[in-house]
Amino acid sequence: MRTFDVMVIVVYMAVLVGVGVRLSRRQNTTDEYFLAKRSVPGWAIGMSLLATIITSVTFIAYPGASYAGDWSLLVPGIMFVLVIAGIGVVVVPFFRHAVAMSAYEYFGKRFGPTVRMYSSFAFAVGHFSKMSFVFYLLALSVGGITGWSLTRIIVILGIVTIFYTLIGGLETVIWTDVIQGFVLWSGVAVSIGLLLFSPHVHAGDMLHLLAVNHKTSLGGFSFNLHAQTFWTMSLYGLFFYLQKYTADQTVVQRYLAATTDRAALRGIGMGAALCLPVWTAFMFIGSLLWAFYRITGEHLPASVTKPDQVFPHFMVTQMPLGVAGLFLAALFGAAMSMLASDLNCLGVIVVEDFYGRFVPGSTDAQRLRIGKLSVAVCGILAIAGALRLSTTQGSALALYYLLTAIVAGGLAGLFLLAFLISRAGRGAAILAIVVNLVFTAWATLTMNGGQTWNLHRWNYPWHELTIGAVGNTLMFLVGCLASVVLPADRVAGPTLWDWLAISRRAKHEKILGDSNESIAQSS
C-alpha cells in the first residue's frame, strides 16, 4: 500500500468518527438513540438502505462470480425490486403504525410473547453470526491486498465502528451511510472507467468478447431446482428479500426513522432503485476483468488461485495513486455500514424484546444505558468471533452457515401467516415454527448429496439455495392448516384485512371532514 492510499483511508475513518462525535449530543432518549427522533428525510433513508445492503461480500463475491461464470447472481437483486414494488406501499405504512420500535413487537401482538421472543432471537442469532463473518471476510480480502495482518484489520475496524455507533446512535449510522453510499458509487464508477478506457485494450473489443461468450447471461431458464438456474435464484431472492423487508429489524427501523409515511416509502423505493444498478455494476466489473486479461494476455500470478482474488489483484496493480485508497475506503465503508446497522438494531432487540419484558418498570434512561451497553458488548463479541474465524480452516464457516440456516429461518413465512391469516393464533404459529426448524435442520444437514449427514435417498434433493424458500413456504402452509384444526387462540393484533379496513375508515372520515369544512366555509 502506498502512503497516499493509506492517508485516504485514514481521512475517511476520521470523518466517520467525527460524524459520531458531532451527533452524540443528541442521543438522550431511546427514541433519539434508536429511531433518530423519527426525523430522517426519505432520500437519506434510501442512501442508508443502499449502504446497508451492499456489503463487503458484494465487492468480492459479485465480480468473482461474473468473472468465473455469468450474471446469475444478479437474479435475486431483480426479485428485490419486484418485492418492494409488490409490498412496499402496504408494509411500510403498516409497520409505522403497528409497532413502536421493534419489528418483532408485531409478532407478539399477533401470537403472544413466546413467538415474539423466538422471532427476535432468531434474527439476533443470524445477524450476530453474520457480523463476525463479515468482519472476517473483510479482513481476509484487505489482508490479501495490503499484506496487513488479519488481527490488526479486525480490531481497528471493529473499534472504530463500535465507537461511532455507540456514541451516535441510529442518526450517526444513517448519516455515515449517506457518506459511504457516495464513496461506494465513486469507487464503482472509477473501477469501470479504468477498465473501459484502459490504454491496453479497446472497450469495443471487450464488449464484443463478452457478447459472443454470453458472459452477461442470467443463467439457464429450464425449470430445474437441482442446479443454480434462473428459477432457483429467483426463488431464493424472492424469499430472502421478502424476509428482509417484512421481518428484518435493520430495515423496519428505517421505516420508523423517516419523518412521514410518504418519506419512508420514497426512501425504500430509492434504496431499491439504487441497489440493482450497483449490483449490476459489480457484475459488469467482473465480466470486464475477464475480457481484460484475455485480450491483453497478461498472466495472473500464481498467488491468484480463486476468481474472488482477481479484482483485488487488478486494484493493486492497475489503479493509479489514491484510487486504490478510495476503493478500499468504499470496501471498508460497505462492511462498517452493515456492522453499524446490526449493532444498533441488536441494541433495540435487547432493550425492547428482552429487557423491557423482564424489567417492565424500567425508566427510559435505564433502557438507554442498557441499549448502549448492548451495542458495545455485541461489537466486542463480534470482533472476538471474527478473530476466532481467522484461526480456523473452514469448519467454523460451515458451522456459521448451518447455525444461521436453522435458527434464522422462517421469519418471512411467519410474517405472512400473521399478516394474511386472520384465524391463525398462538398454537398454529408455534407448530409452524417447530415444523420449519425440523425441516431446515434436516435439509441443511443432508444437502449436497448428504455431505454432512448422508441419508441416501432421504437427502434433501434440491439446490441448497432453495432451503429458505421451501422452509418459509412450509411455515406458512403448516400455520394455515393448523389454524383450521386448532382453536382460534388469536392474540389481539392487526392483520392486512384489519389494516385495510382502518385505512378505508380513515380515508372516509377525512373525505367527510373535508366536505363538512367546505360546507361550513361556503355558508
For 76-116, the DSSP string reads: HHHHHHHHHHHHHHHHHHHHHHH-SS-TTHHHHHHH-HHHH
**40, β-bridge pairs:** 258
How many CB atoms neighbour CB 498 within 10 A?
A: 15
pLDDT of residue 398: 45
In this structure, the answer to whether residues 241 and 166 fall within a common structural domain is yes
- The DSSP annotation for 272-286 comes to HHHHHHHHHHHHHHH
Both 284 and 303 in a single domain?
A: yes
Whether residue 401 is found in the same domain as residue 415: no
CA 493, CA 297: separation in Å to the nearest integer?
64
Q: What 3-state class would DSSP assign to 258? A: strand
Residue finishing a domain among 408, 425, 453: 408
Confidence of residue 331 (pLDDT cuts 50, 70, 90): confident
**Is 396 a domain residue?**
yes
Question: Is 165 domain-assigned?
Answer: yes
Q: Is 143 exposed, middle or buried (0-12, 13-18, 19+ CB in 10 A)?
A: middle
Query: Torsions phi, psi of 258, nearest 5?
Result: -70, 155
Q: Among 375, 408, 441, which residue terminates a domain?
A: 408
Shared domain check, 380 and 274 = yes
Domain total of the chain: 2
Find the range with the poorest average confidence among 118-122, 219-223, 517-521.
517-521
The residues facing 258 across adjacent strands are: 40
Residues 384 and 435 in one domain: no
pLDDT at residue 394, rounded to an integer:
45
Asked whether residue 367 falls in the same domain as residue 431, the answer is no
Predicted confidence (pLDDT) per residue in 475-486, tens digit:
999 999 999 988
Q: Is residue 388 one of the residues assigned to a domain?
A: yes
Band of pLDDT at residue 401, cut at 50, 70 and 90: very low
Whether 206 is in a domain gets the answer yes
- Residue 376, number of CB atoms within 10 A of its CB: 15
Q: Is residue 191 part of a domain?
A: yes
One domain, residues 44 and 110 = yes
Distance separating alpha carbons of residues 20 and 28, to the nearest angstrom: 14
Same domain, 155 and 262: yes
So what's the pLDDT on residue 417? 93
pLDDT over 80 (residue 454): yes
Q: Is residue 181 part of a domain?
A: yes
Does residue 95 sit within a domain? yes
pLDDT at residue 372 is higher than 80:
yes
Q: What is the pLDDT of residues 244-302, one digit of tens each?
A: 888 889 889 999 999 999 999 999 888 888 888 888 999 999 999 999 998 988 888 88
| pLDDT at 330 > cutoff 60 | yes
Q: What is the pLDDT of residue 349?
A: 93
Residues belonging to the chain = 523
**Quick check: 190 and 30 in contact, CB under 8 A?**
no
pTM comes to 0.85
The grid coordinates listed for 186 are 465513486
Task: Give the helix/strand (H/E) hosting 514.
Answer: helix 496-522
Tally of CB atoms within 10 A around 159: 12
| Whole-number Å distance between alpha carbons of 144 and 313 | 9
The answer on 213 and 185 residing in a single domain is yes
Instruction: Render pLDDT for 416-432 as a digit per residue (tens, 0 to 9).
Output: 999 999 889 899 999 99
Confidence bin at 396 (pLDDT 50/70/90): very low
Confidence band, pLDDT 50/70/90 cuts, at residue 395: very low
Q: Indicate whether 343 and 487 sit together in one domain.
A: no
Q: What is the mean pLDDT of residues 71-99?
A: 86
pLDDT of residue 385: 85
Averaged pLDDT for residues 62-84? 86
Q: What angle do CA 243, 244, 248 make, to 5 degrees?
A: 95
Contact 55, 133 (CB under 8 A): no
Q: How confident is the model at residue 522 (pLDDT cuts 50, 70, 90)?
A: low
CATH number for position 367:
1.20.1730.10
Residues 125 and 198 in one domain: yes
What cell was used for 158? 471493529
Nearest Cα to Cα of residue 342 among 399, 400, 394, 381: 381
Mean pLDDT value of segment 115-125: 89
Q: Per-residue pLDDT averaged across 38-67, rounded?
A: 85
Instruction: Say if 350 falls within a structural domain.
Output: yes
Residue at which a domain ends, from 358, 379, 408: 408
Phi then psi dihedrals of residue 102, to 5 deg:
-105, 135
Average pLDDT, the chain: 84
194 shares its domain with 54: yes
Domain that holds residue 463: 409-492
Q: Is residue 402 scored above 70 in pLDDT?
A: no
Segment among 45-49, 343-347, 396-400 with least mean pLDDT: 396-400
